[in-house]
Chains A and B, each alone.
Chain A
Amino acid sequence: MPEAMGFFTDTTVCIGCKACEVACKEWNQLPAENGGVGTLSGDSYDNTRRLDGIHWRHVRFIEQFKGPYDGRWLMMSDVCKHCVQAGCLEVCPTGAIIRTEFDTVVIQSDVCNGCRACIAACPFGVIDINPVSGTAQKCTLCYDRLKVGLEPACSKACPTDSIQFGPITELRQRAQKRVEQLRAQGTKADLYGADPKGPLGGLNSFYLLVDKPEVYGLPAKPQLPTRNLSKSAGFSVASAAVLGVLALVGLRKHWMDDMGGPGGGGGGGGGGQN
């Protein structure tokens, strides 16, 4: 059994070149959007805008400008987080989403039937339908490349080593050192998803951020969708029981109506009100 593998993305050295996006699209043969005709977002230099079924890597541009000469760009190459406790894997009703021997999460496109439960389940908004296959798709952490000992296409292409690939335990140590280095220089720096005791059991694709997670479009405390299951199901069952009892109470009156007893008619809306 191989080790758990993943990405450490150091956003401080990302230059927004999008080599990872291109490498990902090339290797995974993902189609162009809009038939290849470019569309501009109009409010940002980020024209990819999001992760979806045909964008498995997305270099997010966060433009923090107070005035024309005062500001900064934050850049972050976003990707599936390969959560140790994965919401998409939990809800997938076809078994298309699996955990691999590298502790990554992969959607098997030939099994998926496009029900889209995983899209709503993912706390990060990573998954979407690929219109070509009609199935849900996302980063596979280049499962096919890992199988033959290659590193994923994106990290291979990254010119600044912002995206680093390797065994998770090793990446965590490296990330910790980098955080200490940055803090020593007076830069605010925090790891997101590196803690195995943190939300979702840790993320196998974790990040070094210099601002709050929300600024990067990441939830501060991502949660599993099944957190709501027992409470919601419990309320539903209780509601069913109440309705069943009310229906029987109503029926009792129905019988009594027939007997012509004074109790039957007088109750009026008793069974119907609650």
Chain B
Amino acid sequence: MSDTFFSGAPHWTWFIIPYFYVGGLAGGACFLAAILEWFGKPEDRPVVRAGYDVAAVGAILSGLLLTVDLGQPLRFWHMLFQSEHFPAIMFKAWSPISFGAWAILLFGLFSVLSALGARAEEGRLRNAALRAVGGVVRGGLAKFVSGVGGLLGFFVAGYTGVLLSVTNRPIWADSPWLGALRARGRAAGARPLPRLPRIDQPGVARRLGAGPARRGGGRGDSRPAAVAHETRAGRQARAARRLPAAARHHARLRGNRPLPTGGWDVACSQDVDIAGGWG
């Protein structure tokens, strides 16, 4: 009999499972935006800016979901500072949840800075203070902020798998692959990014803002990619069919036709979350 059969369920369910998705998506978006920030072309800028938006909103949402899930939400800061010796830092490198708390805080900071920089780039910040911050980020710090944010984003996307492994629960603690699986599942959006349609038309970036609301729509109108053979769109569609949910989400953000299939690893890691969480 497995020695993990005697542990108790931590009841991580209603807020944590959406957090796994939102956090992973935000992390993956920041990671791919950072790659395009560093190595992309000028016409990639709208994608980069959209990536920072998804990252910033997702990071804030992640923090909120995690805080609301606590038994004592107002004590969330006990994970960051020693509550009895306030400014002293509370950090355990060997505890994924402690490491993760810091990573999400810093990821939030860097992704919001990047998003402000992106807004400043578009000249859409009305508040003077925010405009100043955005301007500072734009004025030479963009690559640094984005790079750190991208790495933190990747960490946020992957650490939850390690966290689940570092328990004594069945399935979770029996596989060392969860972290890798999660990182792949959630951040694999970065992998096909260059292959997705580029945004060449002006004005697309503005439409992207309304993207998440359209996420759920239109599964039914997807068609086999073979229809579009031998065209650039066909190649993109074939490549994109291999993408996991995060990437499909990005595809939809760009107003593409929704793609019918999801990645095996996403489905798998999601099932594992649920199996263990409910157990």
CA distance A117 to B180 in the complex (A): 20
B161 pairs with A121, CB closer than 8 A: no
B72 pairs with A134, CB closer than 8 A: yes
User: Does B261 touch A at the CB level, under 8 Å?
Assistant: no
B168 pairs with A223, CB closer than 8 A: yes
Size range of the chain B interface in the assembly: 35 or more
Which of B117-125, B132-140, B171-179, B252-260 lies at the interface with chain A? B171-179
A268 pairs with B10, CB closer than 8 A: no
Tell me whether A223 and B169 are in contact in the complex, defined as CB-CB below 8 angstroms, given that A119-B8, A243-B191 are known contacts.
no
Of A112, A228, A265, the contact of B165 (CB 8 Å cutoff) = A228
User: Does B214 touch A at the CB level, under 8 Å?
Assistant: no
Query: Residue of B at shortest CB range from A94?
Result: B78
B162 pairs with A94, CB closer than 8 A: no
User: Does B12 touch A at the CB level, under 8 Å?
Assistant: yes
Interface centre among B8, B177, B179 (most CB of A within 10 A): B8
Residues of chain B within 8 A (CB-CB) of A136 are 71
Total A-B pairs, Cβ < 8 A: 234
Query: Residue of B at shortest CB range from A231?
Result: B176
A218 pairs with B166, CB closer than 8 A: no
User: Does A250 touch B at the CB level, under 8 Å?
Assistant: yes
User: Does A70 touch B at the CB level, under 8 Å?
Assistant: no
Of A94, A125, A272, the contact of B242 (CB 8 Å cutoff) = A272
Interface centre among B168, B173, B194, B239 (most CB of A within 10 A): B168
Residues of chain B within 8 A (CB-CB) of A268 are 235, 238-239
**Proximity string of chain A (222-243) to chain B, C-beta cutoff 8 Å, 1 when within and 0 when not:** 1101101101110110111001
Which of B18-26, B48-56, B91-99, B106-114 lies at the interface with chain A? B91-99
Which of A's residues lie within 8 Å of B, judged by CB? 50, 52, 87, 90-96, 110-117, 119-129, 133-136, 214, 217-223, 225-226, 228-229, 231-233, 235-236, 238-240, 243-244, 246-248, 250-251, 253-255, 258, 265, 268-269, 271-274
Which of B's residues lie within 8 Å of A, judged by CB? 1, 3-12, 32, 35-36, 39-41, 70-73, 75-76, 78-79, 82-84, 90, 92, 94-98, 101, 154, 158-159, 161-163, 165-169, 172-173, 176-180, 182-184, 187-188, 190-195, 232, 235, 238-240, 242-243
